[in-house]
DNA sequence: TACCCGTGGTT
DNA sequence: TAACCAAGGGT
């Protein structure tokens, strides 16, 4: 891994946060971009949040970006830019939990903390047939003890890297190739033929939500966008004004009725035919794009005040706003329309 | 503790 | 296809 070349705590921290719940292949391009653009913690602390949000666009779990900036500013403000050197100090920073703090102590400082992510937990749980949910406290404790005992006097970082790699490449979650596994003869889960059930599968519930995005343009090729509020998913990202429904897509009459409750403007809708869905960690979002216009004699600006606060963005501004992958699909389509018409 | 939070790959 | 999963953390 690139951050192991110099073991710079800043780079190790950055990499571990980027890689939280994220595959290495997916996160690595972002890590490289961040190191290039923000070579040390003072550069990171100085960047405006809206700019960094754009840098983070497409990586997901956007709260990580906020916490990373908060932590960087803590390190600069409270420590003069000196990176923490103890597990406890790292743990106090926002966005740094037990895994990340341990990984930093091990990879940057070669200190003996147990680096137990989902890969390592799976390897240990199978080898010793640890029953139950590995995210619960008793199991975590047992895995911790097994890890320490197995590591013995091995190098903390070599052992951690070995287990991470072994979990990612050999002892994989789905359909592991136990026949080729060098540890098969030691594996209790294999002996008891329960490898596929250890650790137990997660249960994920997906709620369906239906978004009706409203494309509202003025006469100068500007479009109305709003910022998603705190307490919602994708909070802080920008989108076209949206009407959300939990049951199903609304028909145009239903949409008009919904809008009539929020604005006194008389409005018109026209479905663009553009539909797209995206699966999130706990939701499935279905979206359709509607052209929206206000009837003659009533300005769109009145609509903004009456319906939602927003900003009018031209093509150049639109490209700078951080958006979800779903909204990015509609944005790209809109940019194409603008290019064609001008 | 249980639930929330993105996106992309695999089966 | 739909489910499952990934170098987890916050609340």
Burial level of A303, CB count in 10 A (0-12/13-18/19+)? buried
Residues A211 and A318 in one domain: yes
* Nucleotides on chain B within 7 angstroms of protein Cβ: 1-11
Residues A4 and A81 in one domain: yes
pLDDT at residue A308, rounded to an integer: 66
Give the domain-ending residue among A203, A227, A257. Answer: A203
Residues A128 and A175 in one domain: yes
Domain residues for the domain of A253 are 207-341
Asked if strand B comes closer than 7 Å to A278 Cβ, the answer is yes
Produce one character per residue of A122-140: b if its CB has 16 or more CB atoms within 10 Å, e if not: bbbbbbbebeeebeeeebb
What Å value separates CA A56 and C1' B6? 11
DSSP collapsed to 3 states, A75-136: HHHHHCCCCCCCHHHHHHCCCCCHHHHHHHHHHHHCCCCCCCCHHHHHHHHHHCCCCCCCCC
Residues A254 and A188 in one domain: no
CA of A235: nucleotide with nearest C1': B5
pLDDT digits (tens, 9 = 90+) for A217-249: 988 899 999 999 999 999 999 999 999 999 899
Give the domain-ending residue among A203, A218, A235. Answer: A203
pLDDT tens for chain A, residues 1 to 342: 999 999 999 999 999 999 999 999 999 999 999 999 999 999 999 999 999 999 999 999 999 999 999 999 999 999 999 999 999 999 999 999 999 999 999 999 999 999 999 999 999 999 999 999 999 999 999 999 999 999 999 999 999 999 999 999 999 999 999 999 999 999 999 999 999 999 998 877 789 999 999 999 988 899 999 999 999 999 999 999 999 999 899 998 888 888 776 666 677 899 999 999 999 999 999 999 999 887 655 556 666 665 667 899 999 999 999 999 999 999 999 999 988 776
Residues A179 and A211 in one domain: no
Residues A283 and A214 in one domain: yes
Residues A120 and A62 in one domain: no
Residue recorded with tokens 């966008």:
A225
pLDDT digits (tens, 9 = 90+) for A29-54: 999 999 999 999 999 999 999 999 99
CA distance linking residue A247 with residue A210, whole number of Å: 7
Residue recorded with tokens 């004004």:
A241
Positions of A marked catalytic:
16
CA distance linking residue A106 with residue A158, whole number of Å: 9
Domains in chain A: how many in total? Answer: 3
A 96-135: CB within 7 Å of strand B: 135
Give the domain-ending residue among A156, A188, A203. Answer: A203
What Å value separates CA A118 and C1' C5? 10
pLDDT at residue A289, rounded to an integer: 97
pLDDT at residue A297, rounded to an integer: 53
Which structure tokens are listed for A338? 């603008």
What Å value separates CA A19 and C1' C2? 25
């Amino acid at each position: 891994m690139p951050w192991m070349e110099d073991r710079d705590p800043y780079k190790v921290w950055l990499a571990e946060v980027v890689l939280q719940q994220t595959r290495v292949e997916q996160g690595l391009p972002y890590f490289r971009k961040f190191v290039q653009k923000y070579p040390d913690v003072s550069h990171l602390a100085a960047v405006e949040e809206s700019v960094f949000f754009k840098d983070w666009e497409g990586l997901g779990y956007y709260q990580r970006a906020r916490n990373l900036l908060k932590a960087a500013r803590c390190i600069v403000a409270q420590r003069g830019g000196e990176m923490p050197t103890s597990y406890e100090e790292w743990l106090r920073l926002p966005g740094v939990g037990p895994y990340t703090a341990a990984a930093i102590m091990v990879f940057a400082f070669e200190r003996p903390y147990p680096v137990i992510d989902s890969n390592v937990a799976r390897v240990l749980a199978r080898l010793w047939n640890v029953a139950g949910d590995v995210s619960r406290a008793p199991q975590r404790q047992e895995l911790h003890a097994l890890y320490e005992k197995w590591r013995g006097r091995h190098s903390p970082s070599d052992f951690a890297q070995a287990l991470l790699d072994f979990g990612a490449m050999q002892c994989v979650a789905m359909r592991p190739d136990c026949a080729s596994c060098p540890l098969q003869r030691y594996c209790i889960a294999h002996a008891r033929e329960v490898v596929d059930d250890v650790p137990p599968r997660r249960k994920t519930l997906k709620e369906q939500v239906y978004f009706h995005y409203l494309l509202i343009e003025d006469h100068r090729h500007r479009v109305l966008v709003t910022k998603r509020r705190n307490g919602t998913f994708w909070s802080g990202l920008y989108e076209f004004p949206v009407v959300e429904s939990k049951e199903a897509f609304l028909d145009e009459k239903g949409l008009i009725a919904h809008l009539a409750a929020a604005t006194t403007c008389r409005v018109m809708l026209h479905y663009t035919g553009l539909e797209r869905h995206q699966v999130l960690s706990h939701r499935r979002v279905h979206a359709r794009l509607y052209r929206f216009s206000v009837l003659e004699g009533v300005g769109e600006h009145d609509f903004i005040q009456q319906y939602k606060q927003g900003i009018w963005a031209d093509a150049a501004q639109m490209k700078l706003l951080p958006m979800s992958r779903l909204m990015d699909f509609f944005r790209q389509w809109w940019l194409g329309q603008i290019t064609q018409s001008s």
